[in-house]
Chains A and B, each alone.
Chain A
């Protein structure tokens, strides 16, 4: 593909990035800094003036830091275990990846069946999500280290520890830093988990933006959103010192490590697996198994007329799937065009990449808030548009789609294109017959991830959703906010259905991965 084609291809993503990422974010900044047409830092200063806000920001950062530490402690052994050749390696990888895309509310509910509200369950569920990040990034890096280099260091006189530190650890360090940065960002901007598991008095910036927006205090919410943007920005720029742009390679690399049997890798991965399996198992037990016997009460609760007005769990599941399809379509088109345009890096296009990757760091709640204030007035009164929720989902899913597709596209041997061209194929034909068909399995994988993200997305949905456009996570949120056993059981049942859908999606993805690429 020549430069011009790539620029043309980048047009649609650029428009999307401008409309649904850049503009809302600029609107937030404008709202925070400009009051009545002139620069006014009052709202921001007020935030740092108030004890409540200061403790909010502190708690947000501290819980993210502790979560990152916990994720590394649990994730590094698991990453090591997946870097070794044994039958469980791919199982651990798939299992943790499924946990990664599990709806946040599901994970939060699962942990709520074991723990009371507080810092511990927040940290543990953040770890349960992000162990996958460590497993993927560090595990792949570990798998790629030739065991011969360790032997070489030893023959050159290095002690076991010195060899490990200078050869293995030195090469893992960038990967560990990348995964720590991503985990920190994800924990910093986590919403559903904190909403369900956090202490009532102690929220994070995210939950506070949500609370303020819901109570129509848009100015205060705006100021906090600006603070959130700055915290995230500071974390990102700090991270640049330690590592390149963190990228999760979702393909699996062939390991070069020597086999060490099954027992030790199994034990190393056990903690991470249990962290996910035990809470989910407890949740399932609470739904299906009551007072020592199997029960269908959860199903009755889902269709019960005792539920709060305007909450229809089954209809919300339908809406979720409907939105998932729409969001997946948009994300794959936008992310696909981006990945193809960016297959070879060039400066202008990299800016687009950076813009589209922003939703990874910027929280979904902030994005949702941006949509609320941006698309508030004619001619773009999109807040009432039925598909505004899936558009936000797509914005969140695009980075993952790009992650999945980029290595696959780069992996297409350039020789193939040239070979096809010498056989008389036109450029369009080469693209259609060779590149697209080779990348097709990865497109499937990307679509699966996009769908999973849309199904589980709660941050933007919580702000943008209304009864008419309630997704399943939105309905769970509503159900949790009212008292009563039926509502609670319905929420659990709905959560399990979501978990099941996501797991099915991941199984399909797994099949696709083994079918196609590498």
Chain B
């Protein structure tokens, strides 16, 4: 059964509708990622669920109880804000223990809870540090611990790995994934980073200009982006226009089997769809070789200078002709 149900919800931001008729559900123990570029309305939706922004249409239910009119403080949702919103006048323990102080939890018990939470997020012994002197990653962890300290029914995380550098993001993302699954809570993560969304979430909801454009598991979204915009946004190479003729696509790199009616379609070829293979059906000229962490990224061009990226373990000289094997099921096609 779903814990959180968002039904046909719209949210105003100033004079514009930041969210338009959004529907989504999150079950217990499930993590949902709201993915979209900035200004797509994902933060507004999150704040509406938290009860900070009012909704102007639809309804939000938790455990089948409508949240309309329920005060922010009584919803019991743990929120981690984009700017973290740590209290600068309180130290680490004061921040994490704030929800316990609100509930008049016994001092010793609160102290124990805080140190357990600090242990969970890997900040043992940092109780009395001022939040101003923490590093970005540490601040992030304090914010997470504080959100968890309120013993929430639902976790709402707004860009939880927001401003961190890449190395730290990757490390913290793994930690966060573990925290989320071990908590057994329903959670929503807002992010603009598709890798982060796919890593953290069981379900991904793509938002564009206030509307949901696709929702599904990460694998579904990877395999079949709903449209070209989604495909671009999740990092697929830009599409080219190709003709389908007698069950074959006539691509700039060569023909490939593709059942369906004769028509013009748009084609995006993710790197995972092609491999270098002397017996491959496509041929193209190598125009650039770029080293990546553990493979080489080879860029090849077909007719019309249409460029395609392939990964390879072996170096290839620029200017040589290569043949490519295509995995048809990985090609991404859109109707025009």
Evaluate contact between A156 and B102: CB separation under 8 angstroms. Answer: yes
Whether A155 pairs with B102 at a CB distance below 8 angstroms is no
B81 at the interface (CB under 8 A from A): yes
Q: List A contacts of B50 (CB < 8 A).
A: 155
Are A154 and B89 also in contact (CB < 8 A) when A148-B81, A148-B83 are? no
Smallest CB-CB separation from A163: which chain B residue?
Answer: B73
A146-B83 contact given A154-B72, A157-B102, A171-B89, CB 8 Å threshold? yes
Assembled-state Cα–Cα distance A109/B81 (Å): 54
Tell me whether A151 and B81 are in contact (CB under 8 A).
yes
Q: Quick check: B73 and A149 within 8 Å, CB to CB?
A: no
Select from chain B the residue with minimum beta-carbon distance to A171.
Answer: B89
Residue of B nearest to A145 (CB): B88
Contact assessment for B83 and A158 in the assembled complex, using a CB-CB cutoff below 8 Å:
no
Residue pair A156, B85 in contact (C-beta under 8 Å): no
Name the distance in Å between B47's Cβ and chain A's nearest Cβ. Answer: 8
Contact, CB under 8 Å: B73 / A159:
yes
Is A436 close to B, CB under 8 A? Answer: no
B198 CB within 8 Å of chain A: no
Q: What chain A residues lie within 8 Å of B98 (beta carbons)? A: 153, 156, 158, 166
A170 at interface, CB cutoff 8 A: yes
Whether A155 touches B103, Cβ cut-off 8 Å, given contacts A149-B85, A170-B89, A171-B89, is no
Minimal beta-carbon separation of A309 from chain B (angstroms): 62
Provide the bound-state CA to CA distance between A48 and B108, in Å.
52
One of A152, A162, A166, A167 near B81 (C-beta < 8 A): A152
CB within 8 Å: A-B pair count = 65
Q: Mark B71-110, 1 if CB is under 8 A from A, else 0.
A: 0111111110101011111000000001101110000000
Question: How would residues 147 to 191 of chain B score, 1 for a CB under 8 Å from any chain A CB and 0 otherwise?
Answer: 101100000000000000000000000000000000000000000
Contacts of B52 in A (CB 8 A): 151, 154-155
Contact count band on B: 20 to 34
B88 touches A158 (CB 8 A): no
Task: Point out the residues of chain A lying under 8 angstroms from B74, CB to CB.
Answer: 157
Residue contact A152 to B85, C-beta cutoff 8 Å: yes
Whether, in the assembled complex, B146 has its beta carbon less than 8 Å from a beta carbon of chain A, the answer is: yes
Residues of chain B contacted by A151 (CB below 8 angstroms): 52, 72, 79, 81, 85
- Report the separation of the CA atoms of residues A167 and B147 in the bound assembly, to the nearest whole angstrom: 16
Contacts of A155 in B (CB 8 A): 50-52, 72-73, 75, 77-79, 150
Question: Closest residue of chain B to A148, judged by CB?
Answer: B85
> In the docked arrangement, what's the CA distance between A151 and B79, Å?
10
Contact of A156 among B51, B89, B99 (CB under 8 A): B99
Task: Map CB proximity to A onto B135-154 as digits: 1 under 8 Å, 0 otherwise.
Answer: 00000000000110110000
- Interface residues of A toward B: which range? 10 to 19
* Interchain CB contact under 8 A, B102 and A158: yes
Chain A positions within 8 Å of B86 at CB level: 149, 152
B99 in complex: contacting residue of A146, A149, A157, A170, CB < 8 Å: A157
Pairwise interchain contact B89-A158, C-beta atoms closer than 8 A: no
Give CA–CA (A146, B98) in the complex, Å.
Answer: 17
Scoring A154, A155, A159, A162 by chain B CB atoms within 10 A of each residue's CB, the highest score goes to: A155
Distance in Å from the Cβ of A144 to the closest Cβ of chain B? 9
Known: A155-B72, A157-B99. A146 touches B85 (CB 8 A): yes
CA of A162 to CA of B72 in the docked complex: distance in angstroms? Answer: 13
A149-184 contacts to B, CB under 8 A, are 149, 151-159, 162, 166-167, 170-171
Docked CA distance A450–B166 (Å): 51
Distance in angstroms between the alpha carbons of A149 and B131 in the assembled complex: 13
Chain A residue with the shortest CB-CB distance to B143: A152
Contact call A171/B88, Cβ cutoff below 8 A: yes
| Residue pair B87, A149 in contact (C-beta under 8 Å) | yes
Docked complex Cα distance between A156 and B83 (Å): 16
Residues of B within 8 A of A159 (CB): 73
Interface string of B95-130 (1 = CB under 8 A from A): 000110111000000000000000000000000000
Which of chain B's residues have a CB closer than 8 A to the CB of A148?
Answer: 81, 83, 85
> Which residue on A lies nearest to B83, using beta carbons?
A148
Name, among B51, B78, B102, the residue most crowded by chain A CB atoms within 10 Å (CB to CB): B102
Contact assessment for A157 and B103 in the assembled complex, using a CB-CB cutoff below 8 Å: yes
**Cβ-defined contact, A156 with B81, below 8 A:** no
Q: Are B102 and A162 in contact (CB under 8 A)?
A: yes
Residues of A within 8 A of B150 (CB): 155-157
Residue of B nearest to A172 (CB): B89
Chain B CB within 10 Å — which of A151, A152, A162 has the most?
A: A152
A11 vs B112: C-alpha distance in the bound complex, in angstroms? 56
Q: Report chain B residues within 8 Å CB of A146.
A: 83, 85
Shortest B98–chain A CB gap in Å is 6
Q: Identify B73's interface contact among A158, A166, A167, A171, CB under 8 A.
A: A158
With A155-B50, A155-B77 in contact, do A167 and B103 touch (Cβ < 8 Å)?
Answer: no
> Which residues from 260 to 301 on chain A have a C-beta closer than 8 Å to any C-beta of chain B?
none
By a CB distance below 8 angstroms, the chain B residues around A149 are: 85-88
Q: How far is the CB of A113 from chain B (nearest CB, A)?
A: 45
Cross-chain contact of B146 among A156, A170, A171 (Cβ < 8 A): A156
- B-side residues, CB < 8 A to A, are 50-52, 72-79, 81, 83, 85-89, 98-99, 101-103, 146-147, 149-150
- Give A contacts to B, CB under 8 Å: 146, 148-149, 151-159, 162, 166-167, 170-171
Report, nearest first, the 5 A-B pairs whose CB atoms are least far apart: A148-B85, A152-B85, A156-B99, A155-B79, A154-B72
In the assembled complex, 21 residue pairs joining A and B whose CB atoms fall closer than 8 Å, in A order, are A148-B81, A148-B83, A149-B85, A149-B86, A149-B87, A151-B72, A151-B85, A152-B87, A153-B87, A154-B52, A155-B51, A155-B79, A156-B150, A157-B74, A157-B76, A157-B102, A157-B150, A158-B98, A158-B102, A162-B102, A166-B101
A sample of 20 more A-B contacts (CB under 8 A), given A152-B79, A155-B75, is A146-B83, A149-B88, A151-B85, A152-B146, A153-B87, A153-B98, A155-B50, A155-B79, A155-B150, A156-B98, A156-B146, A156-B149, A156-B150, A157-B73, A158-B73, A162-B102, A166-B87, A167-B89, A171-B88, A171-B89
